[in-house]
Structure formats: structure tokens, C-alpha cells
Amino acid sequence: MAQDRPGEVSRKTFLGIVTGGIVAAIGAVVGATGLAYFASPAFKSESEDWVDIGPASAIKHGVPTKVDFTQRRRDAWDVIEQRSSAWVVTSNGADFTAFDPRCTHLGCPYRWDADKKEFLCPCHGGVFNEQGQVVAGPPPRPLDRYFVKVEKGRLLIRPLVKRAIA
Ligand code: FES
């Protein structure tokens, strides 16, 4: 077997280096792609999922409307379907507010009283106005809100990120 002379690289050694480099590059690309495929669900943010809850025109002006929807939530590699709802309010058909349907005291479902024009919680007498502010009872903060937007006439909410109004 011929030895490489100092300062020179034989054809065999050169081809070995090139082949090894190509194999290493292919392995890196395949490994990175596979890692991204399997790991990405674990890092996917739930908050990126907007849910279409219907036409914005279905919400009457000045009449809080309870809208039911199915929320698909990703939990790593599983997709979990969960029924949920929101109280949607608009005064002009352009700006919408969507409230979480659970009272901020202990989580009871509340309802809209059209005569009193207030949200009433039956559990401990919590009362909220149309803007979700506490009017009476023990709730420690206003109703939680979903993020909401209108696209092409459809009402979209982002259910898993709620924020309290100030
Ligand atoms: S849970 Fe609504 S007032 Fe207590």
C-alpha cells in the first residue's frame, strides 16, 4: 500500500475525505430535519391558535350573545378538542369584546339579564356590567377577556390567552 508523501494527499485519501464530508453533511441535514419534526409540537405555542366562532354579523348590537365553539388544543403531539363558549359584545358591529364565560370569583357560569342589563352569577351574587366590570358581589376582578379580531367578516378569538381588563 502506497503511503502519502509528506505534503501530498493521494487520490484515495482525498476521495475518503470528500466521501466522509458528504456523508456527514447528509447526516446533519437528515438529523436536523427529523429533530425539528419530532420536537416542534412540544414547543408550539397554544396561544397562536385563533378559533373562528362565526360571522361577526350574527352578534346583535348591544345584546351580549353567548357563542359556543370547539377549541382544538395541542398538547405536545396530541390534539384535544374541548367545547367552550364566550359572551360576545359589540355596540357598533365593528369593535367586539369576548368574555370568558366563567365568573372571576370561583368560576361559576354566569348569564346575561336583559332587563337589568347585567351579567349575573348565581353562585354568590356576583354582578358585572356590560363592559365586564364588577358591579356587586365577591368577584375580585372584572371578567376575563379573550383576544378577539374580525377577518373577512368572521369573528376570531384566541381562547387560551385571556387577559383581565383594567
Ligand atoms: S362564583 Fe360567581 S360570585 Fe362566586
Task: Tell me if 68 sits within 8 A of 51, measured CB to CB.
Answer: no
pLDDT in tens, 1-11: 556 666 677 77
Distance 56 CA to ligand 1 centre (A): 29
Please check the confidence at residue 93 and state whether its pLDDT lies above 70: yes
**29-33, 95-99, 109-113: least confidently modelled range:** 29-33
pLDDT value of residue 42: 52
Hey, what CATH class is 46-164 in? mainly beta
pTM over 0.75: no
Task: Give Cα separations from 157 to 53, 97, 111, 117, 129 (angstroms).
Answer: 7, 10, 20, 24, 21
Distance 54 CA to ligand 1 centre (A): 29
Confidence tier at 161 by pLDDT (50, 70, 90) = very low
Mean pLDDT computed over 71-82 = 81
DSSP of the chain:
-PPPPTT---HHHHHHHHHHHHHHHHHHHHHHHHHHHHHHHHH--GGG--EEEEEGGGSPTT--EEEEEEEEEEETTEEEEEEEEEEEEESSSSSEEEE-SB-TTT--B-EEETTTTEEE-TTT--EE-TTS-EEESS-SSPPEEEEEEEETTEEEEEEEEEEE--
pLDDT value of residue 38: 56
In terms of DSSP H, where are the helices of the chain? Answer: 11-43
Task: Tell me if 100 sits within 8 A of 134, measured CB to CB.
Answer: no
Q: Whose CA is nearest to atom 1 of ligand 1?
A: 106
Rounded to whole angstroms, the Cα distance separating 120 from 32 reads: 54
pLDDT in tens, 117-137: 999 999 999 999 999 999 999
More confident residue, 3 or 165: 3
Our mutation pick for probing the ligand 1 site, out of 99, 100, 121, counting the most ligand atoms within 8 A of Cβ, is 121
